[in-house]
Amino acid sequence: MIVVFDKGGLEGWLAEEDELAGQTDAVALLSDGRQVRIPVNLLQPRNASAYDLPLHFSELAPENAAGPEDRVLLPVHEETLEVGKRRVEKRLEIRKTVSERQATVERPVTREEVEIERVRVDRPVDGPVPVRREGETLVIPLLEEEVVTQKRLVLREELRITKRRTRENRTATVALRSEDAVVTRTDPGDSTKEDR
């Protein structure tokens, strides 16, 4: 038999020979002996042999009740066992607390110290110098570009001086001086004479 539960939990039974597929109504026998006609489109499947009705059986209109010309159904009860499984979602709330305690631990530790020494080189190189290792020492070259100024002689220009000798006649008034000597001789027996 197919069991129908109404909104209030009241049970009704449909005859097994009633096929719900393709029908608009089905006849249900209630526990108080009444028979009602239930619209099939209102039935909601609960499991393979039970349905839920979202109304009370008493809410069905009187004209939907089965008449005396309908067959009388006597319920025959049979208990069946259905075993199945369904997924149930459960939420868990987990709180994590952190406690602190003091503990003394003795462990060997290794410590490394680095000594950095700067060595001035100031030597020109042709290209990049790779990092190298000298024993336990790692040598990292530090390069720097510098501008080199070079002094050289450059012939900028030449002064060309040419000496030319020319002759020409020029007229000029020049004062010329000359000296004359006047000699006066005196002889005891003669008169005085002047020589020029």
pLDDT at 66: 45
Q: Please name which of 84, 139, 100, 142 lies closest in space to residue 116, comparing C-alpha atoms.
A: 139
**Domain residue limits at 18:** 2-64
- Phi, psi dihedrals of residue 40, rounded to the nearest 5°: -65, -30
**What mean pLDDT comes out for the span 49-75?**
64
pLDDT in tens, 78-137: 777 888 888 888 888 888 888 888 888 888 888 888 888 888 888 888 888 899 888 888
DSSP result, 68-84: TTSPP------------
- Give 188's pLDDT tier (boundaries 50, 70, 90): low
Higher local confidence (pLDDT), 139 or 160: 139
- In-domain check, residue 114: no
Measured between alpha carbons, how far is 27 from 19 in angstroms, rounded to an integer?
11
pLDDT at 61: 52
**What mean pLDDT comes out for the span 31-38?**
81
Whole-angstrom CA distances from 111 to 16, 58, 114, 115, 152 are: 89, 90, 10, 13, 58
- In-domain check, residue 134: no
- Give 194's pLDDT tier (boundaries 50, 70, 90): low
pLDDT at 86: 86
Q: How many domains does the chain have?
A: 1
Measured between alpha carbons, how far is 41 from 29 in angstroms, rounded to an integer?
18
- In-domain check, residue 121: no
Asked whether the beta carbons of 13 and 3 are under 8 A apart, the reply is yes
- In-domain check, residue 110: no
pLDDT in tens, 140-186: 999 888 888 888 877 778 777 777 788 887 777 878 788 888 877 77
**The two three-digit tokens of residue 48, written as one number:** 């393979």
- In-domain check, residue 29: yes
- In-domain check, residue 153: no
- In-domain check, residue 14: yes
pLDDT at 36: 83
- In-domain check, residue 170: no
pLDDT at 62 over 70: no
